[in-house]
Amino acid sequence: MIFLPVVALILGFLLVYRFSIPSAWADYAAIAILAGFDALIGAVRARMEGQFDEAVFISGFFVNMALAILLAYIGDKLGVDLYLAVVVALGIRIFTNLGRIRGLFVRARMEARRARHAAMPH
Amino acid sequence: MRAFWEAGKGWTLPVAGVCLVLGALLGIQTHTQQLRGATEVGRRSSALVGMLTNSEAQLAAQAKEIEQLRAQLGKFEKEAMSDKGVTQRVYEEMQTDRVALGLLPVKGPGVELELGDSTMRRDGAEAGSQDIYLIHDYDLREVANELWAAGAEAVSLNNQRLVTGSAIRCSGPLIQVNNTTIPSPFVFHAIGNKDNFVSALNIRDGVLDRLRWVKFQVKLTPKDDVAVPAIAIAPKFRYAKPVTEETP
């Protein structure tokens, strides 16, 4: 069921809403969130394509998050806005995956309609 | 296509776990950003206040330094004057010049004149324009002029010594003397002949009379001991050059 993840998302949100982090970390948290969304949407797409793998998903979620933060951190230290590179790369990936998901939906609908037409006697 | 919303082994639980983490991150980040936005304005204005306090403190420190340097200069001159005679006369001459330039605080008999805004107020449709009941730069200039005319030897306005080059002017809603903003009430201290001051200022249809008509708060007190401070920054003479080298 889809409820469990949604409930988990809301629960997580409400549990920590009273806390805050130093504003110096806010950029890194934003990057981490972006990486997390990327992993989640990638997982949805993989699931729809029947290629989902639990280990790949979980490792990808945490490792990508860490890498994104690391890249942003290195950029900070070097004085290069690698932060932006991470945002752009993840943003593009999220959009691509969302596009694929939409494509899968549309194709499924068309196939269903064709199947119905074929079944109907002329 | 497989429907991702359908539960499945090895799918719902990991996604739910990840969603928990992601939700937590979102929550903490949203909360942080909200706090940030709320404190931004306060932080900015407190930074400005900090800067203002800083520069005021700096100004005070520098004024003190000027005072110290002047005292030091006086000491050096006194030491140099140990052989009396010519140096003594030069020293006396320079003291007089310094008084005239406003470089030395002075005291003596004189008057204290306090001017406050009028007690009258416009109301109704005209409530927005109270300016005829407020003291203006030209009122203060007129009073200062009258004090000089009555033989003042030293005049200060809100502790700003009036010297050559001291402009009294309005800048927006405030009044500036010696490029320093001064607030109401305005207090003149003048050293000179007390009786002359009182009669000159109180002359019929004179400057104080005119202010009293519109109920400005005028308080003129003759005093035996009036103190007038030195000017903070001495006037500079960059263009004016003496025509002769001789001193009068």
The answer to whether residue B248 scores a pLDDT higher than 60 is no
ipTM, two decimals: 0.84
Across the interface, do B14 and A54 touch by the CB < 8 Å criterion?
yes
Using CB atoms, pick whichever of A21, A49, A105 lies closest to residue B32.
A21
The answer to whether residue B176 scores a pLDDT higher than 80 is yes
B37 reaches A (C-beta below 8 A)? no
A104 contacts on B by Cβ (under 8 Å): 1
The answer to whether residue B95 scores a pLDDT higher than 80 is yes
What are the phi and psi torsion angles at A31 (to 5°)?
A: -60, -45
Across the interface, do A30 and B6 touch by the CB < 8 Å criterion?
no
Helix (H) or strand (E) holding A103: helix A82-119
* Mean pLDDT confidence for B36-41: 70
B35 reaches A (C-beta below 8 A)? yes
For B112, the token pair is: 């204290």
pLDDT of residue B75: 83
pLDDT of residue B4: 81
Across the interface, do B1 and A26 touch by the CB < 8 Å criterion?
no
Confidence of residue B77 (pLDDT cuts 50, 70, 90): confident
The answer to whether residue B52 scores a pLDDT higher than 70 is yes
B39 reaches A (C-beta below 8 A)? no
Using CB atoms, pick whichever of A9, A19, A44 lies closest to residue B31.
A19
pLDDT of residue B114: 92
A16 reaches B (C-beta below 8 A)? yes
Distance CA B220, CA A9 (A): 76
pLDDT of residue B154: 93
pLDDT of residue B162: 92
Where along chain A do its domains lie? 24-119
* Contact indicator for B223, B109 with CB cutoff of 8 Å: yes
Distance CA B25, CA A106 (A): 32
pLDDT of residue A25: 82
Across the interface, do B23 and A105 touch by the CB < 8 Å criterion?
no
pLDDT of residue A90: 93
* Contact indicator for B210, B141 with CB cutoff of 8 Å: no
Confidence of residue B128 (pLDDT cuts 50, 70, 90): low
* Mean pLDDT confidence for B27-50: 78
The answer to whether residue B129 scores a pLDDT higher than 80 is no
**Nearest C-alpha in A relative to B7:** A1
pLDDT of residue B122: 65
A33 contacts on B by Cβ (under 8 Å): 22, 25-26, 29
Distance CA B162, CA B190 (A): 10
* Mean pLDDT confidence for A70-79: 89
Is the pLDDT higher at B127 or at B30? Answer: B30
* Contact indicator for A89, A35 with CB cutoff of 8 Å: no
Q: What average pLDDT does chain B have?
A: 84
Q: How far is A34 from chain B (nearest CA, A)?
A: 9
Confidence of residue A122 (pLDDT cuts 50, 70, 90): low
pTM given for the model: 0.48
Confidence of residue B14 (pLDDT cuts 50, 70, 90): confident
pLDDT of residue A38: 93
**pLDDT digits 0-9 by tens, A6-55:** 899 999 999 888 888 887 788 888 899 999 999 999 999 999 888 889 89
Confidence of residue B236 (pLDDT cuts 50, 70, 90): confident
Count interface pairs A-B at CB distance under 8 A.
123
pLDDT of residue B118: 80
Q: How far is B106 from chain A (nearest CA, A)?
A: 56
pLDDT of residue A121: 66
Across the interface, do A36 and B18 touch by the CB < 8 Å criterion?
yes
**pLDDT digits 0-9 by tens, A79-98:** 888 888 899 999 999 999 99
B214 reaches A (C-beta below 8 A)? no
B14 contacts on A by Cβ (under 8 Å): 54, 57-58
The answer to whether residue B31 scores a pLDDT higher than 90 is no
Interface of A with B in 78-107 (CB under 8 A): 104-105, 107
Across the interface, do B18 and A50 touch by the CB < 8 Å criterion?
no
The superfamily (CATH) of domain B105-228 is: Protein of unknown function DUF881 (3.30.70.1880)
Across the interface, do A105 and B15 touch by the CB < 8 Å criterion?
no
Vertex B76, ends B72 and B80: CA angle to 5°? 170
pLDDT of residue B6: 79
pLDDT of residue B225: 92
Q: CB within 8 A of A10, min separation 6: which ones?
A: B23
